Structures are given as C-alpha cells and as structure tokens.
Amino acid sequence: MNVSKSILGPALFVCMLVNLYLIFMFAPTESSMGQIQRIFYFHVPTAWVSGLSLFVLFISSILYLWKKQRKYDIVAHAAGEIGVLFMTMFLVTGPIWARPVWNIWWDWSPRLTSSLVLWFIFVAYLMLRNFVENEEKGARLAAVFAIVGFVDVPIVYMSIRLWADIHPRPVIGGGESSGLHPDMKIAFYFSVFTFTLLFLYLLIQRVRLQKTTVAISEMKKQIAY
Amino acid sequence: MIAKVGVLLWKDILSELRTKELIFSMLVFSLMVAVIFNFSFPPGSEFIKDASPGILWMTFIFAGLLGMNRSFVYEVDTGCLQGLMLAPMDRSVIYISKLLVNFIFIGTVELIVTPLFAIFFDFSIIDSLGPFLLMLFLSTLGFSVIGTLFSAIAVNTKTREVMLPILHFPVVIPIIICAVQATSAIFQGREWSEIWNWLKILIAFDIIFLILAILMFEYVIEE
C-alpha cells in the first residue's frame, strides 16, 4: 500500500496548481515592490522547509545513534538532501528579489549570513556521508556531525547578530511580514502548506528509494557470496 | 582518570618533542601567512592595522587546522587507536587527552607568533595582556574542542586533510567572530564591558561543545 503515491502525490499536484493560481492571479500586486514581491511566496516556504529538514535531520540522527536502526539513518540522509535542495533555492530566490528591491544581490546581514552558514553545514553533512567508504561508519559519523551542527545554529545566529550590530548599515525595506493584505496572507499560508506537502512527499519518496537500494544491495550480496 | 589522561598526554608530547614536526611546521606556516597577507594590501596601506586582528586569527585557524589534521592520522595508521580502545578506560579519556595535546600545541604556536605579529603589524598588547590571554585561552579551547572531535571524524574519510576544514569552519564561525571582535576591541583599547560581551559567547560555546563532544566522541571511534 503506497499512501504517498496514491494520495499524497495527486493531492500535492492539485495544491501546486491552486498555489500557482493564488500566487499569480489571486494575490494583489504589492504597491511599492511590484511583481517581484511574488517571489516571497516561494522564498519564505523554502526557508520553512529547510528548517523542517534540519529538525528532522537532528531528531533522526539522535534516534539513529540511540537505537542503531537503519531506518533512522535513511530518514536523516533524505532530510539532509532535501535540506541542501531547499536551502539552495532559498539562497537563490533571495538575491533575485533583493537586486531590484535593495539594488544589491547580496547583503551581509545576520539573516543572510546565517543562512549561508547553515547551507555550508548541510553541504558538509552530505559530503561527509559520501566520503566515508564504510556505510555504517559514515552514517554514525554523519549523525554526530548533524547533532553538533544543529546545536551550533542558534549560537551562529546569535554571534552573527551581535557582530552585525556593531557595523550599523542603512535600513533597507521593512519587515517582510509587516502589514500583509488579507489575500496575500491566504496565498502565503497556502504556499507554506503546499511546500510542507512537497517536503513530506519528497521525504517519503527518498526514503522508499533508499530502502529499495538497500534491499537490492542485500540481494546482490546473497547471490554473489 | 586524571592520571590516565596524563599518561596519554605525555605520550603525545614526548613523541612531538622527539620529532618537533608539528610545532615547527605550524610556526613556519604562520610566519608565511603573515608575509602572504601583507601582499593583499597596497604597500604602505593603513588598512593593515584595522585588518590585523583578522589576519592574526586567520593565521591561528589555518595553522591550528594543520596541526589538528595530524592528531588522529598517526593513531589510526599505526593501529595505536585500536590499542587505546582496548585499554581499560573510558573513551572520553582519549578525547580529553587529544584535546589537551591540540590545545597545548596550538597555544604554544599562538604565544610564539603573537609577539612576532606585533612587530610585523605594529600593534601592542602589553597594556591589556590579561584580557588578551583570557580571550586567547577561551577561543583556542573552543577551536580545539570542535577540531579534535572533527579530526577523529575526518580521519575516516577518503579526503582526510580536505574534509576537516569543510566540517570545521562552518561550526566554529561563532569562535572566529568573537575572537576577531574581541581582539580588535583589545587592540583599540576599548572598555572591558565590550570585550566581555564577546568572551561570554566564547564561554557558552566552550561549555556547550565540550560536554557535547565528550558525549559524541564515543560514537565517533566505536568499531
């Protein structure tokens, strides 16, 4: 019984279409930024999904070290990959928005710098996994790194904030969520919901794929030896 | 436990005293970094004074990584780690002794390099030696806490020497920020309260990661 393929997949497809409609047709155009503001409906949900994957990665890494069961490692690996994917999308959509609005691609503000650091931690996690030959050992070491990395994120954010405070910079653009039109809110929350479904779908599919890979390699071992 | 850590610590210090490989390579490397950094500024530039805390810390970090990269390579390649794991003691003893070795080696290099850098880049720390040494202690400790744990991880990968910085840099960013800012506050003769703001983060970092690293090390070397 494949719930993800039979229910989640079609539901996600419908939601994606509705989401596109809400973002491009339903939500009003922002008065000062114009059309470019619509990227915000993609940008913020990608950040949300990255955070979600980091959390799943952290929890499943702890469970793996504790219970030593393969399934937790498979979930952690999948969450790590999804994290890199969405963190990259987050870092790409940000500058696309910032260029016309702030007139610069990149700004070393606390939020941007911390996001970049988080991206590096995710990438280092995946590299570590791929560079250890023994799979069980790789899973164990990567879990240790994921836990240390997760604990580090708030400290990184705090220290970068403090660092940015002593280098004052002109305030450009207000808070993103300040004074959203009700229709914008609908589009925004629906987009977050759709991206969460997408996250679940990707996670489940990736875990299934990995389980199949493991099953095949077990079979190969049985036949070959 | 302290006696066991002492024995392991002495083993590493003794083997270093016989070869003097690590400390010398780290020292020469540090001085070369100073020369290279000098070329990244126009000749006679005033920028170099503002940049000196950053240069000092980049040097310590690169030199430190150079040293920490080696800390488990030798143990693994000679099978010594296996022997240590068979010895009747807690695994954390191995971690703590390696941490102290790295801390002592990096600290030694820092204490030799800082006066030389003071000459090269024209800064003075004599007036605020206390805060400077405290800052050096806290940041080197945090840097080694993470570095020792990660070098035990990196030694298992195919690209040992490259992997350590990739794991290490993003995680020690708070240390780099606090150390550089505290150093520049010290160089500019700022008030203690401002320096203390940075030291507080360093202390929090050191405590959190020291505990976490001791807990995690067991999983890193488990066979």
A131 with B157: Cβ contact below 8 A: yes
d(CA A97, CA A40): 8
- Least CB-CB distance to A155: which of B158, B174, B198? B174
Pick the residue from chain A with its C-alpha nearest to B209.
A148
User: Each residue of A9-46: b (16+ CB within 10 Å) or e?
Assistant: eeebeebeebbeebbeeebeebeeeeeebbbbbbbbbb
Per DSSP, the three-state class of A2 is coil
A158 with B174: Cβ contact below 8 A: yes
In sequence order, what are the beta bridge partners of A30?
A: A34
Domain ranges of chain A: 39-168+181-220
A131 with B220: Cβ contact below 8 A: no
B213 with A148: Cβ contact below 8 A: yes
Pick the residue from chain A with its C-alpha nearest to B155.
A132
d(CA B150, CA B164): 6
How do the pLDDT tens digits run along chain B, 223 residues long? 788 888 888 888 888 888 888 888 899 999 998 888 888 887 777 777 788 888 899 999 999 998 888 888 888 888 888 888 888 888 889 999 999 999 999 999 999 999 998 888 878 778 888 889 999 999 999 999 999 999 999 988 888 888 999 999 999 999 999 999 999 888 888 888 888 989 999 999 999 999 999 999 989 887 6
Distance from CA of A215 to the nearest CA of B (A): 24
pLDDT of residue A178: 54
- Among A36, A112, A33, A125, smallest CA distance to A85 is for A125
Distance from CA of B168 to the nearest CA of A (A): 9
**Residues in Cβ contact with A224 at an 8 Å cutoff, skipping those fewer than 6 apart:** none
Pick the residue from chain B with its C-alpha nearest to A120.
B170
Please indicate if any CB of chain A lies within 8 Å of the CB of B157: yes
Residue-wise pLDDT for A23-58, tens only, equals 888 888 877 777 888 888 888 899 999 999 999 999
Residue-wise pLDDT for A94-108, tens only, equals 888 888 888 888 888
d(CA B32, CA B38): 10
Total Cβ atoms within 10 A of residue A2: 11
- Whether the pTM exceeds 0.80: the reply is yes
Distance from CA of A117 to the nearest CA of B (A): 6
Please indicate if any CB of chain A lies within 8 Å of the CB of B146: yes
A163 with B177: Cβ contact below 8 A: yes
Say what the alpha-carbon torsion angle A18, A19, A21, A25 is, to the nearest 10 degrees.
Answer: 140
